[in-house]
């Protein structure tokens, strides 16, 4: 019986060595480890053995069974690895095929131009100062020299926010970035009330007006405003700074002109035009044949505004200017409808 077990082990291991695929391996497993395999039949014949033989044969039969099973497990692993290696070499990937393009978002055209303007102003020493979008009537109008019932308020119909007990100073969405002038001046002045420091800041952000939405007017738009306050600031400083800004923004040969205008918070006030960059000043539909484009409003800060900001107008002067980033893009790209900007149509936005 022990000789027979040796033969069973030898035959099983030899036939296993020749196997290379999973189907043959499975057939081998059934034949050599299955219920009716030779080694299992030895166990079923144990009852016929003598008392002396039984433990020896039993021990040897177990050894053979373990040896066959161990060999099978090793072979199964080897066959699996071989199949994997074959699959890897057989099913080659063509890594030279172009991949699926990743879609990148980008900044809204208004944000792009806003950043460009702020970048140019930063080169000129203007620090960006962001201010709140909901304001009180005092900051949005009164401190900026728009008293209650002032006719200039008619130009800036507003979105009011309901708030109990604030009838004399209601909350509204800011109609311009100018309330930031007062907030900035008060903050700077608070640092040294006897000798408030000089200011050179840019105030960017969204403004809101209660308008009929048309091709020319929207309920929301960006503004960028500049404010310079200090001792001995003159109108020629305003003209020099803004002409320099126009050259940086529209090119070294950009020509500018100033026309007098009126704003409640500046005195004197002006509009700055830049020579039409679409036609080069010859006259075209964009500039309405005038050769000039209206780019920004500006003026010397009104003494009342300086005072409201904590700066003594007998000692300090300053100038301010404001412009619309969307308007500049509309002029440059001949966009004839302002509603495209906030309509969220990617066909428009993807062009920038």
Q: Which residue stretch of 22-30, 103-111, 275-283, 317-325 sits at the interface with Zn ion (rule: CB under 5 A)? A: 275-283
Distance CA 24, CA 107 (A): 63
Q: Which stretch binds Zn ion (CB under 5 A): 75-83, 236-244, 276-284, 337-345?
A: 276-284
CA dihedral 190, 193, 198, 203 (to 10 degrees): 30
Q: How far is the CB of 273 from Zn ion (least distance, A)?
A: 11
- What does the per-residue mask of binding to Zn ion show for 280-299, with x meaning CB under 5 A? ----x-xx------------
Residue 330 binds Zn ion, judged by CB under 5 A: no
Cβ contact 80:29 at 8 Å? no
Contact in structure between 284 and 276 (CB atoms under 8 Å): yes
Which segment (44-52, 140-148, 167-175, 271-279) binds Zn ion by CB under 5 A?
Answer: 271-279
CA angle, 25 then 28 then 32, to 5°: 140
Q: How far apart are CA 271 and CA 69, in angstroms?
A: 95
Strand 134-136 and strand 171-173: pairing?
Answer: antiparallel
In the window 84-143, what residues touch Zn ion (CB under 5 A)? none
- Closest distance between Zn ion and the C-beta of residue 274, in Å? 11
> In the bound complex, what is the minimum distance in angstroms from residue 289's beta carbon to Zn ion?
8
**Shortest distance, position 327 Cβ to Zn ion, whole Å:** 15
Task: Establish if 331 lies at the interface with Zn ion (CB under 5 A).
Answer: no
Q: Among positive and negative, which fits the CA dihedral 13, 18, 20, 24?
A: negative
Which residues fall within 8 angstroms of residue 128, CB to CB, at 6 or more apart? 118, 121, 122, 201, 202, 203, 204
Q: Which is nearer to Zn ion, 240 or 280 (CB)?
A: 280
Collapsing DSSP states into helix, strand and coil, what is residue 319?
A: strand
3-state SS, residue 196 = coil
Of 278 and 307, the one with the shorter C-beta distance to Zn ion is: 278
Q: What sign has the CA pseudo-torsion 225, 226, 229, 233?
A: negative
Interaction of residue 278 with Zn ion, rule CB under 5 A: yes
Q: What are the phi and psi torsion angles at 172 (to 5°)? A: -145, 165
Minimum distance from CB of 275 to Zn ion (Å)? 8
Instruction: Name residue 263's beta-bridge partners.
Output: 266
CB of 202 or CB of 249, closer to Zn ion: 249
Candidates 62-70, 274-282, 300-308, 337-345: pick the segment binding Zn ion (CB under 5 A): 274-282
Q: Which residue stretch of 130-138, 147-155, 202-210, 277-285 sits at the interface with Zn ion (rule: CB under 5 A)?
A: 277-285
CB atoms within 10 A of CB 285: 10
Query: Which residue in the set 40, 279, 307, 349 belongs to the binding site for Zn ion (CB under 5 A)?
Result: 279
- Minimum CB separation of residue 291 from Zn ion in Å reads 6
User: How many residues belong to the site for Zn ion (CB under 5 A)?
Assistant: 6
Q: With respect to Zn ion, which residue has the nearer C-beta, 176 or 327?
A: 327
Q: 286 or 320: whose CB is closer to Zn ion?
A: 286
Contact residues for Zn ion, defined by CB under 5 A: 276, 278-279, 284, 286-287
């Amino acid at each position: 019986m022990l000789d027979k077990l040796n033969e069973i082990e030898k035959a099983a291991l030899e036939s296993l060595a020749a196997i290379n695929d999973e189907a043959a391996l499975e057939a081998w497993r059934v034949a050599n480890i299955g219920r009716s395999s030779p080694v299992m039949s030895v166990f079923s014949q144990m009852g016929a053995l003598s008392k002396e033989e039984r433990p020896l044969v039993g021990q040897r039969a177990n050894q053979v069974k373990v040896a066959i099973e161990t060999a099978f497990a090793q072979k199964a692993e080897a066959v699996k690895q071989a199949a994997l290696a074959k699959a890897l070499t057989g099913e080659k990937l063509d890594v030279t095929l172009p991949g699926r393009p990743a879609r990148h978002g980008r900044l809204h055209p208004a944000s792009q131009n806003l950043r460009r303007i702020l970048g140019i102003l930063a080169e000129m020493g203007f620090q960006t100062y962001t201010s709140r979008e909901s304001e009180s009537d005092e900051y949005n109008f009164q401190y900026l020299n728009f008293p209650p019932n002032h006719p200039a308020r008619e130009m800036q119909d507003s979105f009011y926010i309901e708030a109990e007990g604030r009838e004399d100073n209601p909350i509204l969405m800011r109609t311009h970035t100018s309330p930031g002038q007062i907030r900035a001046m008060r903050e700077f002045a608070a640092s040294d009330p006897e000798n408030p420091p000089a200011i050179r800041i840019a105030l960017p952000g969204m403004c809101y007006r209660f308008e009929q939405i048309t091709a020319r007017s929207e309920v929301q738009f960006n503004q960028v405003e500049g404010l310079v306050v200090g001792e001995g600031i003159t109108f020629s400083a305003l003209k020099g700074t803004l002409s320099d800004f126009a050259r940086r923004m529209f090119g070294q040969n950009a020509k500018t002109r100033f026309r007098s205008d009126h704003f409640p918070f500046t005195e004197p006030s002006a509009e700055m035009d830049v020579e039409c960059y679409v036609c080069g000043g010859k006259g075209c539909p964009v500039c309405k044949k005038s050769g000039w484009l209206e780019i920004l409003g500006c003026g010397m800060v009104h003494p009342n505004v300086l005072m409201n900001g904590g700066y003594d107008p007998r000692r300090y002067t300053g100038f301010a200017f404001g412009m619309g980033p969307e308007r500049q893009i509309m002029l440059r790209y001949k966009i004839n409808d302002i509603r495209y900007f906030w309509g969220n149509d990617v066909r428009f936005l993807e062009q920038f």
